[in-house]
Amino acid sequence: METEKAKTALAAGEDAWIRFLQQRGLRKTPERLALCEAVLATEEHFSAEDLYELLQREARFRVSRATVYSNLQLLVEAGLVVRHQFSNFSSVYERMDRACGHFHQICTNCGAVIERDDSRLRSQIREMCLNRFHAASYSLYIYGVCSRCKRQMAQKNKANKKTKK
């Protein structure tokens, strides 16, 4: 059951999307509205392919991959979605309202992405003196090796040392 706050946020996002389309002189098509609604209902990171598959399953009409990709770019330009490039692979997206206030730890070995929330870090960023600059949002990525991969590497190194003796 959706909360009143979630419904209000969804409506505000859809209104912002429609205003953006009108300002750009773009048509308000059922496909664009369905795509926006699906994105705004998503709580997690998603790829263009994830969104395409979701729309294939749940939309009342067919939405092409080209429509998904081009409209994701428009959603980024509208400030409703953030694009993340966590690795050399494809981009993932996140709603702008979910993107602020947390950071990402990305394992360079397996590609795992772990979201972390740190209120102290958020406070420090808010308190930073950014001369003649108003920060609208921020992203922080920390690259390294996750504990699972670190453990597997240690086991592999241990096994290699045993075989060399």
Total-model pTM: 0.73
Percent of the chain with pLDDT over 90: 35
- Per-residue pLDDT reduced to its tens digit, 59-114: 777 889 999 999 999 999 998 998 888 776 678 898 887 666 678 888 888 888 88
List, for residues 105-125, the tens digit of each pLDDT value: 888 888 888 888 788 887 887
Q: What is the CATH number of domain 101-165?
A: 3.30.1490.190
CA 31 to chain centroid: 21
What mean pLDDT value characterizes the chain? 84
pLDDT band at 2 (very low <50, low <70, confident <90, very high): low
Domain limits of the chain? 1-99, 101-165
d(C-alpha 125, C-alpha 1), whole Å: 34
Q: Which two tokens stand for residue 58?
A: 């749940």
Q: Please name the residues in contact with 51: beta carbons below 8 A apart, sequence gap of 6 or more.
A: 35, 38, 39, 42, 68, 72, 93
CATH of domain 1-99: 1.10.10.10
- The pLDDT value given to residue 29: 92
